[in-house]
Amino acid sequence: MRRFATKQGLGAATLIAALLGAVSAPAARAEDPGKFPGYTLKVKLIGGNQYDPLYKRIPEWEKATGAKVEILSSKNGFDLDKELKADLAAGNVRWCAGWDHTSFMAQYGDLYTNLFDLVPKATQDTFIQRTLQSAVIDGKLMLLPWHTDVSDMYFQKSLYADASNQARYKAKYGKDLAPPDTIDDFRNQVEFFAHPPTMYGTVFAGKEEGLNGRFYEMLLSYGGTYLGKDYRPMFNSEAGVKALEFFRDIYAAKAVPAGTINYLWDDIGQSFASGSVALDFDWPGWAAYFNDPKNSKIAGNVGVARAPAGPSGKRLGWSGSHGFSITKACDNKPAAVSFITWMTDYDTNMLEARRGLMPANAKAFDDIIAEVKAKHDDYMTNVFEVWQKSLAEDAYPVPHIAQWIEISNASYPEFQAAILGQKTPKEALDTAAKKATQILEDAGLLKD
Amino acid sequence: MRRARWAVPLLLVLPAIVVIAAVVLLPLVVSLYSSFTAYTMIHPASLYRWVGWRNYRRLIEDSGFWWAFGRTVVFLTVALNLELLLGLGLALLIAQVTRGQRLLRTVLMFPMMFSPVLVGFQFNFLLNDNVGLLDNALLQIGAIRQPIPWLVNGATANLSILVAEIWMSTSVFAILLLAGLLAMPHEPVEAARVDGCSAWQSFRYITLPFLMPFVYIAMTIRSLDVGRAFDMVRIMTNGGPAGRTELVWTLMATVGFQDGQMGRANAMAYLSIILSIVFTFYFARKLASARAALGDTA
């Protein structure tokens, strides 16, 4: 409450929302950050321009607590991942708090400590519980999320509003043309809208963890299982074949650019923003970008819809959260808890949400929707509402094993071979499962 | 007395020996040892789990590794030879220039100044089949009807990487060979001209023999340095799709740093070291023979 009183103003829009009753008493706020005068907290943070606004909160924490923050490292996620592994390998952990991600955290089991033991229950309760639970491994909370990702469907509204498209689609598929609610609709519409080279149905991440992640959620939507309870790879199932066939079929139909097999997130986002792609199943961080005329040719023409569901009824929902963790070796855990709580609190979440990122704080999610509604920003209102539902009902993390990235690296060349038609999906999946089995056997997770 | 004569020099070079042992020998021994272990970065204790020849055995049986190895040999051979030819051509042209040569030499060095990561992004953007400059330009002028997926097809993807590497590194050859040309005495060429030799004959029998030591020095430096193309390949294709552009460097980086399997990555490195030794030994021998030939001529 005291902190709330001393914080910077929230801006006119929020005040309007507050007057409308959308912003209730600050029950979600963290407690007093405490005082740590003279203490220097050493941290390793993810770097990049997109994180600079978040890090403006660091001086505020320093001022509130009397502590100093020394940033030992600030690299992109993949380079920081390598550095954290090198720290683990060298036994050289002389820092307290650091960046973490739900897709990577299982690798850092010996590095970071269980936050359930350190973070007060009241603070834990401020998070969206499904998101917080995605950061739990074997009953241990590995990170506090600061924003979270799950993919939903972006589409060009004009294509759906076009009367000729509506008539042709109805005639061909016997259904009204509307954003895809099922994977079959998705496939049909991707092929329906494709007129290469001027228009493609969609684009997808064609390599590395991106492809494995997309395959993973497709597999689950087809009713499959990635790893069994005993960690045995089970993705080379009938559901796995159908999941891989989805990618192979739209690739073979030339409904995606041939180069999509090399694309990662930036290529995908740029393709949709260029106006040459009808549907883009993508992360929420792009929402503001796509609707900004400075960056996007389709600004004002972007719609969003919830992820489609597969035959199992499960919607695509591969999710991941950025967050902060505390090292086991930290010499001042109360200061570290104060720091990561501050960096994931309501105000941080609102700051990030105003940039179009999805908050991990439950109250911030409600409040940002109220705020954009008050601004009559129908697009962002729709974005936040669609993603709020997805995060609450559809999102799930990758399997919490340290070998996820390694299995991804072993599997994706096989998936690519199937998509390119070099192997049948079953052959590719069997080879990938064999490689994954060896990785898990070497790690001691599988006994044979 | 004899011991005393050795003691002082030994004492003097001892610091150098200690430094070299610490920064070169020790890491080599540790990495060689780790190639016989199940060493995983996220489990430091695995450094002590001896697995014998397992890492090497698996690599020898892994066709993917040998494809990457063979592709690296071809890449090195083709890239270095083309860079040499183009660099030699550029150096000869610039050597003819009398005004503005200094400016040209500076401009020539521009590609060297770009980081390989930047070059990778630059070519990735140029060759993107949806929003890339090249395909869009070709479509606009009607040269193609469908975009060419440069980085998907095995042949065009490897060719694209080769072009990017040549664009980035040809200037190294050009600068080194230009230094050789500028250091060359003019008298033999002028004498040949007086004797009625053609331009080709002067180049073939006078300029080229003089340049050969520079050529082999440049070749040796570049064969050791060409690994910096790793960053560029990583950005452009990361060895894909489906391993079509996988080089030993990208494979090692994935296994070592992304998968954290340092034991296996070190085994790859020791198998690949054969390649470096062969190339370096070959160029060192050629350099020695070229210098000897130059000495004989002189």
Q: What are phi and psi of A320, to 5 degrees?
A: -150, 150
What distance in Å separates residue B146's CA from the closest CA in chain A? 6
Distance CA B25, CA B46 (A): 22
CB contact under 8 A, A207 and B238: yes
Q: Does residue B241 belong to the interface with chain A, where contact is any CB pair within 8 Å?
A: yes
Q: Do B44 and A90 touch (CB under 8 A)?
A: yes
Nearest to B38 among A86, A420, A442 (CB): A442
pLDDT at A28: 40
d(CA B153, CA B275): 27
CB B259 to CB A257 under 8 A? no
Q: What confidence score (pLDDT) does residue B255 get? A: 93
- Do A160 and A297 belong together in one domain? yes
Task: Note whether residue A182 is domain-resident.
Answer: yes
What are the chain B neighbours of A86 within 8 Å (beta carbons)? 41
Q: How far is B130 from chain A (nearest CA, A)?
A: 6
Q: Say yes or no: B146 contacts chain A, CB-CB below 8 A.
A: yes
Instruction: Give the confidence band of A8 by pLDDT, cuts at 50, 70, 90.
Output: very low
The CATH class for the domain spanning B63-297 reads mainly alpha
> What pLDDT sits at residue A330?
95
Same domain, A143 and A158: no
What is the reported pLDDT for A247? 98
* Tens digits of residue pLDDT in B200-246: 899 899 999 889 888 888 888 888 777 777 888 988 988 989 999 99
For chain A, which residues lie within 8 Å of any Cβ of chain B, measuring from their own Cβ? 78, 81-82, 85-86, 88-91, 107-110, 196-197, 200, 203, 206-208, 257-259, 261-262, 267, 270-271, 274, 276-277, 402, 405-406, 409, 412-414, 416-417, 420, 422, 442-443
How far are the Cα atoms of B22, B181, B220 from residue B90, in angstroms, in the given order?
Answer: 42, 11, 20
- Asked if B31 and B266 count as a contact pair (C-beta separation under 8 A), the reply is yes
* Structural domain for A141, as ranges: 2-150+319-393
Does the beta-carbon distance from A197 to B151 stay under 8 Å? Answer: no
Calpha distance A109→B183 (Å, rounded): 60
pLDDT tens-digit series, residues B115-124: 888 999 999 8
Q: Please give the pLDDT value at position A7.
A: 31
A87, A202: one domain: no
Whole-angstrom Cα distance, residue A62 to residue A34? 11
Distance from CA of A321 to the nearest CA of B (A): 19
Domain map (residue ranges) of chain B: 63-297
Residue A442 lies in a domain: no
The Cα A306–Cα A389 span in angstroms is 8
Q: How many CA atoms lie within 13 A of A338 on its CB side?
A: 24
Provide the chain B residues 60-79 that lie in CB contact (below 8 A) with chain A. 64
Select from A305, A330, A350 the last residue of a domain.
A305
Given B41, B150, B255, which is nearest A86 (Cβ)? Answer: B41
What confidence category does residue B298 fall into, taking pLDDT thresholds of 50, 70 and 90? Answer: very low
Q: Are residues A164 and A300 in the same domain?
A: yes
Residues A198 and A107 reside in one and the same domain: no
Give the per-residue pLDDT at A9. Answer: 33
Do residue A273 and residue A327 come from a single domain? no
CA dihedral A9, A13, A14, A20 (to 10 degrees): 140
Q: Of A280, A305, A330, which closes a domain?
A: A305
Which pLDDT value is given to residue A139?
A: 93
Q: Which range, of A163-177, A298-312, B163-177, averages the lowest pLDDT?
A: B163-177
Q: Is A326 part of a structural domain of the chain? A: yes
Q: Do B41 and A405 touch (CB under 8 A)?
A: no
Look at residue A12 and tell me whether its pLDDT is greater than 80. no
B89 touches chain A (CB under 8 A): no
Asked if A396 and A215 count as a contact pair (C-beta separation under 8 A), the reply is no
Between helix B229-236 and helix B154-183 the angle, nearest 10°, is 150
Phi, psi at residue B245, to the nearest 5°?
A: -120, 20
Whether B141 and chain A come into contact, CB under 8 Å, resolves to no
Single out the residue of B191, B185, B126, B136 nearest to residue B156, CA to CA: B126
Flag whether A428 is in a domain. no
Dihedral sign from CA coordinates of B272, B274, B278, B281: positive
> For the sheet containing A144-150, what is the strand order?
A68-75, A40-46, A97-101, A319-326, A144-150
Based on the fold, state whether residues A207 and A69 are members of the same structural domain: no
For residue B2, count other CB atoms closer than 10 A to its CB: 6
Q: Which two tokens stand for residue A13?
A: 């829009």
The pLDDT of A135-149, averaged and rounded, is: 93
Partner-chain contact B42 A91, CB within 8 Å: no
Where does A194-298 have alpha helices with state H? 208-221, 238-252, 265-273, 287-290
User: A–B: how many Cβ contacts below 8 A?
Assistant: 104
Please report residues of B whose CB lies closer than 8 A to that of A77.
Answer: none
Mean pLDDT (chain A, rounded): 90
In A82-180, where do the E strands start and end?
Answer: 97-101, 136-137, 140-141, 144-150, 152-156
Does residue B260 or residue A170 have the better pLDDT? A170
What is the C-alpha to C-alpha distance for residues B169 and B84, in angstroms, rounded to an integer? 10
The answer to whether A102 and A398 have CB atoms below 8 angstroms apart is: yes
CA distance A163 to chain B (A): 27
A111 token code pair: 């590095």
Q: Note the ipTM here.
A: 0.77
DSSP-derived 3-state class of residue B221 = helix
Domain shared by A156 and A135, yes or no: no
Q: Given a cut of 60, is residue A22 above it in pLDDT?
A: no
Helices (H) and strands (E) in chain B, counts: 15, 0
Contacts of A91 in chain B (CB under 8 A): 44
Least Cα distance to A276 among A156, A186, A192 occurs for: A156
Within 10 A of A154 (CB to CB), how many other CB atoms are there? 28
Confidence band, pLDDT 50/70/90 cuts, at residue B45: confident
Q: Collect contacts of B194-197 with beta carbons under 8 A, ≥24 apart.
A: none
Q: Is the pLDDT of residue A23 over 70?
A: no
**Shortest CB distance from A271 goes to which of B130, B139, B255?**
B130
Residue range B159-171: mean pLDDT, rounded = 93
Question: At A74, phi and psi to the nearest 5?
Answer: -145, 85
Q: Which of B147, B240, B260 sits opposite A416 (nearest CB)?
A: B240
B140 CB neighbours in chain A (<8 A) are none
DSSP E strands: which ranges in A252-404? 279-282, 302-305, 319-326
pLDDT of residue A2: 30
Q: Is pLDDT at A70 greater than 90 in this prediction?
A: yes
- A88/chain B closest Cα distance in angstroms: 6
Shortest alpha-carbon distance between residue B124 and chain A (Å): 10
Q: Does A288 reside within a domain? A: yes
pLDDT at A20 exceeding the cut of 50: no
Residues of B in contact with A257 (CB under 8 A): 129-130, 147, 149
**Is B254 an 8 Å CB contact of chain A?**
yes
> Is there a contact between A413 and B259 if contact means CB atoms under 8 Å apart?
no
Cis preceding linkage at B27, omega within 30: no
CATH of the domain at A108: 3.40.190.10
A12 lies in the same domain as A102:
yes
Q: What pLDDT score does A49 carry?
A: 77
Number of Cβ within 10 Å of residue B179's Cβ equals: 15
Distances B110 to A353, B98, B106, B113, B122 between C-alpha atoms, Å: 42, 21, 7, 5, 14
Q: First and final CA of chain A: distance in angstroms? A: 57
Under an 8 A CB cutoff, do B41 and A85 touch? yes
Query: Does residue A312 sit within a domain?
Result: no
| Beta-bridge partners for A73 | A44
| B269: closest CA of chain A, how far (Å) | 18
Give the bridge partners for A305, in sequence order.
A153
Distance of residue A252 Cα from the nearest chain B Cα, in angstroms: 14
Q: Total structural domains in chain A?
A: 2
Name the domain boundary from A393, A414, A439: A393
SS3 A145: strand
Task: Decide which of A168 and B110 is more confident.
Answer: A168
Single out the residue of A203, A166, A242 nearest to residue B129, CA to CA: A203
> How do residues A339-384 score in pLDDT, each as one tens digit?
999 999 999 999 999 988 999 999 999 999 999 999 999 999 999 9
Q: Give the per-residue pLDDT at A31.
A: 65
- Measure in Å the smallest separation between the Cα of B16 and chain A Cα atoms: 26
CA pair distance B129, B125, nearest whole angstrom: 9
Q: A296 and A175, same structural domain?
A: yes
Q: Which of B130, B152, B257 lies closest to A200 in CB terms? A: B130
Residue ranges of the alpha helices (H) in A153-286? Answer: 157-161, 163-173, 183-193, 208-221, 238-252, 265-273
Q: How confident is the model at residue B106 (pLDDT cuts 50, 70, 90)?
A: confident
pLDDT tens track for B48-75: 999 999 999 999 999 999 999 999 989 9
Q: Using an 8 Å Cβ cutoff, are A271 and A257 in contact? A: yes
Residues of chain A neighbouring B241 (CB-CB closer than 8 A):
206-207, 261-262, 413, 416, 420
Mean pLDDT of A431-448: 89
Instruction: Report residue A143's pLDDT band, with 50, 70 and 90 as the boundaries.
Output: very high
Instruction: Note whether A163 and A146 are same-domain residues.
Output: no
Give yes or no: residues A337 and A296 share one domain. no
Tell me how far apart the alpha carbons of residues B257 and A86 are, in angstroms, rounded to a whole number: 9
